Amino acid sequence: MERLNIAIDGPAGAGKSTISKAVAQELGILYLDTGAMYRALALKAIRLGIDPNDASRVVPMLPGTSVSVRSEGGVQRTLLDGEDVSGEIRTQQIAKGASDIGVIPEVRVKLAECQREIAKNADVVMEGREIGSYVIPQTPYKFYVTASSDERAARRLRELHAKGLELDKTHGQMKAEIEARDHTDSHRATAPLIRVPDAVYVDTTDMSLDEAVNFVLARIRRKS
């Protein structure tokens, strides 16, 4: 049976997660946040005192490391070597570590294999940076979600502040961090963040969440 695989890519803070979760819920299918998997690997490296940029130490760590996900009532739990790390991976330090560790080709190969296996076995909305260009390029359902870096920084700051995190960070600092992460994600040699020509472009700068979700759903329904 042909699986419904939906790829939602774009830079940090563009609204991908919110849109992906809402679309998955509306369609009654699985939601997979692939960034959480990169974050889990970064967390392990940092706990071991390994710099996520240091491929010579990260690569040997990979065979003994398992990253898996499970869905609990539509909410993704991310497991690192069997431990639920869903909360711990949500800091800016881990976000940067994930961006850095994602530059290492062996890391990408390991996680992409796991993501392809999930896509083969389930209808899924998969959110990331290179899902439509590299992980499941054969899918006809590809979206590239973005927004201005000002707006993305404001959203990310609101999200973190709501959780009581990074309370002393300014808008300017957050914008600089987001732009640095965009640069790393877009310039890595293996599977960078790019907008593929067949992805539907969604600029959420001036869109409400509902508008963005309805727009994406309408495009999916038009094709299926």
Interaction of residue 34 with ligand DC, rule CB under 6 A: yes
Residue 8 CB, shortest distance to ligand DC, in Å, is 10
Range 6-25, binding ligand DC (CB under 6 A) = 12
Interaction of residue 147 with ligand DC, rule CB under 6 A: no
Q: Which region among 32-40, 67-75, 116-124, 143-151 touches ligand DC (by CB under 6 A)?
A: 32-40
Which amino acid type is present at position 149? S
Angle at alpha carbon of residue 24, lines to 218 and 105, rounded to 5° = 105
Give percent helix, percent strand, percent coil of the chain, each to the nearest 5: 50, 15, 35
Among 152, 177, 185, 220, binds ligand DC (CB under 6 A): 185
Provide the terminal-to-terminal Cα distance of the chain, rounded to the nearest Å.
14
Interaction of residue 102 with ligand DC, rule CB under 6 A: yes
Residue 108 CB, shortest distance to ligand DC, in Å, is 7
**Residue 155 near residue 146 (C-beta atoms within 8 A):** no
Q: How many helices (H) and strands (E) does the chain have?
A: 8, 8
Residue 89 CB, shortest distance to ligand DC, in Å, is 8
Residue 224 CB, shortest distance to ligand DC, in Å, is 24
Interaction of residue 38 with ligand DC, rule CB under 6 A: yes
Residue 221 CB, shortest distance to ligand DC, in Å, is 25
Interaction of residue 35 with ligand DC, rule CB under 6 A: yes
Interaction of residue 128 with ligand DC, rule CB under 6 A: yes
Nearer to ligand DC, 130 or 151 (CB): 130
Three-state secondary structure string covering 96-146: HHHHHHCCCHHHHHHHHHHHHHHHHHCCEEEEECCHHHHHCCCCCEEEEEE
Q: On the CB side of 133, how many CA atoms lie within 13 Å of its CA? A: 17
Nearer to ligand DC, 150 or 218 (CB): 150
**Residue 40 near residue 67 (C-beta atoms within 8 A):** yes
Contacts of 172 (CB under 8 A, 6+ apart): none
Residue 95 CB, shortest distance to ligand DC, in Å, is 5
**Residue 202 near residue 127 (C-beta atoms within 8 A):** no
Residue span 70-99 as binding mask against ligand DC, x where in contact by CB under 6 A, dash where not: -------------------------x--xx
Residues that bind ligand DC (CB under 6 A): 12, 34-35, 38-39, 95, 98-99, 102, 128-130, 181, 185
